[in-house]
Amino acid sequence: MLEILEHRRFPHGQIRALASARSAGQKLPYRGGELKVEALTHESLKGVDIALFSAGSSISKEFAPAAGRSGCVIIDNSSAFRMSPGVPLTIPEVNPESIRDLKASAELPNVIANPNCSTIILLMALTPIRRAFGVERAIVSTYQAASGAGAKGMDELEAQTRDDLAGKPVKAGVETGGVFHEPYAFNLFSHNTAIDAVTGLNVEESKVIHETRKIWGDPAVALSATCIRVPVRRAHAESVNVTLKTPATTEQVREVLSKFPGVRVVDDRAGNLFPTPLKASGKDEVLVGRIRPDASRLPANATAGDYAKPSLGFDLFICGDQLRKGAALNAVQIAEMLV
């Protein structure tokens, strides 16, 4: 967040860094100087105009409501308030109108929720398509990097990879005080959130479905999600099959994506060059490629002419940096809208 505030020259007077008591006293580089970390208390946010929260749901629930009622605008990166009635769930390129009335929630005034990283990356690609052609249904499979579980998740992936390459046995992280319930090195597994016994969905899959409906204001849109952890250090990838309401050609889909702010089309069929986590890492744009008609809708002996016709179904592959557009950048962009 600090790097992005500095890079984008965010206009502010005083800026403070608040964390737990054990982090107090640490110094962070910022704009050629240093910020000394202070311990977060209930007095810390008095007189603060905008607070960017990214300390987990329990901290947000403890500190955000009172600060919001006192006039501080909270932009919260946790899942604490995303589905709370009246709390905007905002992606600036997608639904900027959502923050017009920050008093809409009597219990949580002045609170804005940052969506889940997978939801943000997905909707950056689907929203321009939806605006142009409508979206009836979408099926998404995510390939989520270790960064989604924070520094500990990244450390676990790196340590297990070194152990595996050295011929040492690799156990699930939770068996040795780590994060993940399966061995991570050279492996992939269902996302490490709880599975609902009735629906079979894990928490991450539920977030993608319910947050998309709230952000779009479309409770009827049909969505299916499968969320998987992959042994990638940073940046999430998503494979998407989308059903449109109005037929479109591949070129029309590519054109609307290329014009959408925050999206970059990477779709070189001749060179077999498409989005990858490495290409997305450290970048602000969401990369979209593998743009093609859904072959299941075409005749078994489809010709080039069949692929050129307008279609109701398309497949896409998306990559976005979970730490930037999937989290910190989106929060800072919301703050920029407020300013």
| Residues classed as catalytic | 117, 236
Among 205, 95, 190, which Cα is nearest to 139's? 205
C-beta of residue 153 within 8 angstroms of C-beta of residue 232: no
Calpha distance 30→14 (Å, rounded) = 12
Structure letter (DSSP) for residue 195: B
Cβ-in-10-Å burial (0-12, 13-18, 19+) of 48 comes to: middle
Calpha distance 312→136 (Å, rounded) = 9
E strands of 25-87, at which residues? 27-30, 33-39, 50-53, 73-76
Calpha distance 250→140 (Å, rounded) = 19
Enumerate the H helices of 148-303 as residue ranges: 150-165, 203-216, 250-258, 277-280
State the DSSP string of 84-105. Answer: STT--B--TTT-GGGGS-TTS-
95: number of Cβ within 10 Å: 18
Among 242, 262, 238, which Cα is nearest to 250's? 242
